[in-house]
Structure 1
């Protein structure tokens, strides 16, 4: 399946590694900023509520930018939205590095979150141009999903080591370097403008896509599963800090999650022909539910690493299946809008959830956000069944 730009040229297909590498670099800048900012806030004596607030800020800018990013990608293709994202990431990381205060970190979180929204929609759309059938869509989007997984695997570990051995400024400096690397990689992708639609009709608003029950159910499932990812990102630094773990140990726990997500996405690339998207989604929901319920009782760094790895396998398999299904249930010329709508929905939850996680952890137990998400996953089995019936 391809979008409105038509079949991909051989040159465009050869540039696929550069597309993925661009995503890795942009996402790594955000991931380094997120880990370093979280640990800086805890090191300065701020509470869990502040951590939740900062994590929510990564999703504020995408709320306003996601639909615009989808239209921009449908209209201009790859380079313009990626350039906007690179500039936002660079500005946010520089603000944190230069000022290193709570307000500067808040601004940096806003800008880095917006950078991911704008760049990722264009990158996902560009990758969709390179797939010709449903199996290839799963393979392509497994590689796309490997970008954030790889940056999440490496960034927390590198940031933790830099903080422990050189200090917070060096971790923030790494976040400044990565957007420049991303733009250098993006220039290797051939420029090509999307072909205009022949009927000259005025583009319909993205909200019109919600009339499709399959897309509505898919978005509900995606919101819950992405919120589980946020719950893990919130709980690990808080629990690790409370247990007296070092920044390097916390980075290893977070890295084990991302490493497992990377491995499962590589497996999807290999076995895409044998996977049913909806069965894989429901299996991931079941495994994640069980692990979220028992995570609080896992012992020490090693136990947390094992639990995070199992969660990484379950949640890491989700994005390729969701993106492949999304491209099958939406019109090709509106893939950018659909991707922007998905980004808006998941980031809307990402704003509310960490704030709720912070309040819930403060009022009860540090692992309470995971218990909350386990209950929501159980409820999400209903739209998963409905999605199956609408697809059959």
Structure 2
């Protein structure tokens, strides 16, 4: 959806600013839903939230099939983006609670992160091929059917036992979690890295459109990024016991900064694809490390709330950043957007290294 909708808007003659606004809407619903969704997931577990998300995502993409015009695309972006965000919180909380120790946390989040990486390959590539050979309606129809497969696998999942809640204690606010310095550093690093995904998703279709590349070629470039991200996440469980979260995250930020510096100079599809692959390897390694750290520094009873806070923070940025990218791209060119974000993520390597302080041990099943 995040590739097909902007391409349709560009083909209809909308500007880079309008495309930035459209992409921002994919994150807008998550800004408002993330915290209440996190609390809801803490109370109700996995299946009920995911069921609601399946309905909303299928309906949102279905509207784009029936009415493929810019205002409806904006509504579809709100619905599909919001449902994806809530489902992510539910899934991440479930697998995080299922882990028994820090090494297992890295393993399970590496496996879980393969899902979005694979979908980021299947989605853009399939949408690009359908757009070129069958039109935009066919692409949106496929996106409307895919969420239904989610319920097929989730419906038989065994729910974990609820976390005991302390009765009579003072109500806690999500912002209390940010009183810990390591949580603030983690949110900053996560925001910077999320901006890298946003700028790549935003800039590549525009660069490809400017250089006359077809939708399928643009989808292949984005798909190469996703394959690389999936590949590194397949490898991470093997090395989970031998890697440290802060080392992986800081290294990925430095590599990303270098790649963003050279990406705008890549003019051929092959060169752009090579940069996408290397960028996917770097950024693909990050999310399992971030999630492992988050679960180790957060009380178990507030995992969903912490995940909601994380999602709200990065999506508040994702609402503003595409519009900023679009404005900057229209004024000074999209290359400058790449360089500015690369400079920021390079500077963020230092706080990423400072995530090193001792992490809270994950409670064993006996402790629970």
- What is the distance in 2 between the residues matched to 1:214 and 1:173? 43
5+ residue gaps in structure 2? 361-368
- What is the distance in 1 between the residues matched to 2:238 and 2:263? 30
- What is the distance in 1 between the residues matched to 2:22 and 2:47? 29
Moved over 4 A (4+): 389-392
Q: Which residue of 2 aligns with 1:177?
A: 145
Q: Which residue of 2 aligns with 1:21?
A: none
- What is the distance in 2 between the residues matched to 1:318 and 1:214? 17
Contact in 2 for aligned 1:81/1:122 (Cα 8 Å): yes
CA positional deviation for 1:250: 0.2
Q: Does 1:65 align with 2:28?
A: no
1:262 to 230, 243, 249: 230
- What is the distance in 2 between the residues matched to 1:364 and 1:310? 26
- What is the distance in 1 between the residues matched to 2:163 and 2:100? 18
- What is the distance in 2 between the residues matched to 1:300 and 1:250? 11
Which runs of structure 2 are paired with 1:44-59 in the superposition (5 Å)? 44-59=12-27
CA positional deviation for 1:379: 2.4
- What is the distance in 2 between the residues matched to 1:342 and 1:34? 21
Q: Which residue of 2 aligns with 1:317?
A: 285
2:164 aligned counterpart, secondary structure: coil
Q: Which residue of 2 aligns with 1:89?
A: 57
Q: Which residue of 1 aligns with 2:252?
A: 284
CA positional deviation for 1:196: 3.1
- What is the distance in 2 between the residues matched to 1:246 and 1:369? 23
- What is the distance in 1 between the residues matched to 2:294 and 2:109? 11
2:14 aligned counterpart, secondary structure: coil
- What is the distance in 2 between the residues matched to 1:72 and 1:63? 15
Q: Which residue of 2 aligns with 1:126?
A: 94
Contact in 1 for aligned 2:94/2:160 (Cα 8 Å): no
Q: Which residue of 1 aligns with 2:115?
A: 147
Contact in 2 for aligned 1:142/1:320 (Cα 8 Å): yes
The normalised TM-score by structure 2 is 0.95
1:100 aligned counterpart, secondary structure: coil
Contact in 2 for aligned 1:357/1:369 (Cα 8 Å): yes
- What is the distance in 2 between the residues matched to 1:195 and 1:333? 6
Q: Which residue of 2 aligns with 1:102?
A: 70
CA positional deviation for 1:181: 1.4
Contact in 1 for aligned 2:198/2:318 (Cα 8 Å): yes
Taking only aligned residues, the RMSD between alpha carbons, in angstroms, comes to: 1.5
Q: Which residue of 2 aligns with 1:344?
A: 312
5+ residue gaps in structure 1? 1-32
1:318–1:192 CA distance, 2 compared to 1 (3 A): closer
1:213 to 163, 181, 186: 181
Q: Which residue of 1 aligns with 2:83?
A: 115
Q: Which residue of 2 aligns with 1:165?
A: 133
Contact in 1 for aligned 2:128/2:215 (Cα 8 Å): yes
Contact in 1 for aligned 2:247/2:353 (Cα 8 Å): no
Contact in 1 for aligned 2:251/2:349 (Cα 8 Å): no
- What is the distance in 2 between the residues matched to 1:67 and 1:202? 18
Contact in 2 for aligned 1:261/1:312 (Cα 8 Å): yes
1:156–1:66 CA distance, 2 compared to 1 (3 A): same
1:197 to 165, 182, 189: 165
Q: Which residue of 2 aligns with 1:365?
A: 333
Write out per-residue CA displacement over residues 24-48 of structure 1, whole angstroms, 9 at most, x where no aligned residue: xxxxxxxxx2211111111111111
1:58 aligned counterpart, secondary structure: helix
Q: Does 1:299 align with 2:264?
A: no
Contact in 2 for aligned 1:214/1:391 (Cα 8 Å): no
CA positional deviation for 1:201: 3.1
CA positional deviation for 1:346: 0.7
State how many pairs are aligned: 360
Which runs of structure 2 are paired with 1:207-246 in the superposition (5 Å)? 207-246=175-214
The normalised TM-score by structure 1 is 0.89
- What is the distance in 1 between the residues matched to 2:168 and 2:109? 30
Contact in 2 for aligned 1:84/1:118 (Cα 8 Å): no
Q: Does 1:330 align with 2:298?
A: yes
Write out per-residue CA displacement over residues 248-303 of structure 1, whole angstroms, 9 at most, x where no aligned residue: 10001000101100011111111111101000111000100000000011131000
